[in-house]
């Protein structure tokens, strides 16, 4: 690969710490608004992240609770009501400035735009959540920066299924090895790798100690050149963040690494 022709961005945990600081908080506000006596602390929500999708996560949690509705139809109805309220609270949290982009994200997006590298969003979160986050940080015309946007409503199966990546590759008309994904979690890495897309992992708060296999690079975030596997060379420009040249170098090596090995 001479250089990646497209960068495929995950959203939750990758662009921002939305899970810990956004979705979890919004779910708790929605529980209260719906007069449901449940609350998700950080530890429990971290365990629930093994389930992909907010509504799916909620339905799974109901199976663990004795005070959840006994009938499947009742659980589905309650899940829809809570999830709708949760999405509204999530948008409010973003608009009020409670959820910042992770360090280095804006800079890499701007570098891609300047250097003509196309980008896509490859997420299985809802389109309304994506719209809220991107509009707040990049303005109402944020769509113009991305050649493809694939969200949860666009796929029949969520990550770790690779459908979201297959759709993005088709829309961009690029082969897997001409793209690189940026993910934060084992499930996202699995989805990209099943589509044969190389993956760079910026570990998020909930997956900082996760076992990651199959990525071409793993590190603490795009804001910091330290702590990456494979290690980054000193930047000629003295930049502290990870840039396109670094991603290009990892793609050229194309050797998978482990978080701990």
Q: Indicate whether 71 and 160 sit together in one domain.
A: no
Asked if 190 and 206 count as a contact pair (C-beta separation under 8 A), the reply is no
The verdict on whether 12 is a catalytic residue reads yes
Q: Tell me the pTM.
A: 0.91
- Percent of the chain, pLDDT > 70? 96
Q: Indicate whether 82 and 209 sit together in one domain.
A: no
Q: Count of domains in the chain? A: 2
Q: Indicate whether 148 and 232 sit together in one domain.
A: yes
Which of 29, 63, 95 marks a domain boundary? 95
pLDDT of residue 233: 81
Q: Indicate whether 123 and 105 sit together in one domain.
A: yes
Q: Per residue in 85-116, pLDDT tens? A: 999 999 999 999 999 999 999 999 999 999 99
Reported as a pLDDT band with limits 50, 70 and 90, residue 73 is very high
Q: Indicate whether 77 and 105 sit together in one domain.
A: no
Q: Indicate whether 231 and 247 sit together in one domain.
A: yes
pLDDT of residue 236: 61
Q: Indicate whether 165 and 226 sit together in one domain.
A: yes
Q: Indicate whether 76 and 124 sit together in one domain.
A: no
Residue 125 within any structural domain of the chain:
yes
The verdict on whether 10 is a catalytic residue reads yes
Which of 33, 60, 95 marks a domain boundary? 95
Average pLDDT, the chain: 93
Q: Per residue in 55-71, pLDDT tens? A: 999 999 999 999 999 99
Which of 95, 128, 148 marks a domain boundary? 95
Question: Residues 199-218: what's their mean pLDDT?
Answer: 95
Q: Which domain holds residue 190?
A: 6-16+101-258
pLDDT of residue 196: 97
Q: Please pick, among 10, 161, 178, 184, the residue that the annotation labels catalytic.
A: 10
Residue 1 within any structural domain of the chain:
no
pLDDT of residue 187: 94
pLDDT of residue 238: 59
Strands (DSSP E) along 98-254, which ranges? 118-122, 148-150, 179-183, 199-202, 213-215, 217-219
Q: Indicate whether 81 and 107 sit together in one domain.
A: no
Q: Per residue in 129-174, pLDDT tens? A: 999 999 999 999 999 999 999 999 999 999 999 999 999 999 999 9
258 or 2: which carries more pLDDT confidence? 258
Q: Per residue in 170-189, pLDDT tens? A: 999 999 999 999 999 999 99
Asked if 117 and 244 count as a contact pair (C-beta separation under 8 A), the reply is yes
Q: Indicate whether 131 and 202 sit together in one domain.
A: yes
Residue 230 within any structural domain of the chain:
yes
pLDDT of residue 257: 72
């Amino acid at each position: 690969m001479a250089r990646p022709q497209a960068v495929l961005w995950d959203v939750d945990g990758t662009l921002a710490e939305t899970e810990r600081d956004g979705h979890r908080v919004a779910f708790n506000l929605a529980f209260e608004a719906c007069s449901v006596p449940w609350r998700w602390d950080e530890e429990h929500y971290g365990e629930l992240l093994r389930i992909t999708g907010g509504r799916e996560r909620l339905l799974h949690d109901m199976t663990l609770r004795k005070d959840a509705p006994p009938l499947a139809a009742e659980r589905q109805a309650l899940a829809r009501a809570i999830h709708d309220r949760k999405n509204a609270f999530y948008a409010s949290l973003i608009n009020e400035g409670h959820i910042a982009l992770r360090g280095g994200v804006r800079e890499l997006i701007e570098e891609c735009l300047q250097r003509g590298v196309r980008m896509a969003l490859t997420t299985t979160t809802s389109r309304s959540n994506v719209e809220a986050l991107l509009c707040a940080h990049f303005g109402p015309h944020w769509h113009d920066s991305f050649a493809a946007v694939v969200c949860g409503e666009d796929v029949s199966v969520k990550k770790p299924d690779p459908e979201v990546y297959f759709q993005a590759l088709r829309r961009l008309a690029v082969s897997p090895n001409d793209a690189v994904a940026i993910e934060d979690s084992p499930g996202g890495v699995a989805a990209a790798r099943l589509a044969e897309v190389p993956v760079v992992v910026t570990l998020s708060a909930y997956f900082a100690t996760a076992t990651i296999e199959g990525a071409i690079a793993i590190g603490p975030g795009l804001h910091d050149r330290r702590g990456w596997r494979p290690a980054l060379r000193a930047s000629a420009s003295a930049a502290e963040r990870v840039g396109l040249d670094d991603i290009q170098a990892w793609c050229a090596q194309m050797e998978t690494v482990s978080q701990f090995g």
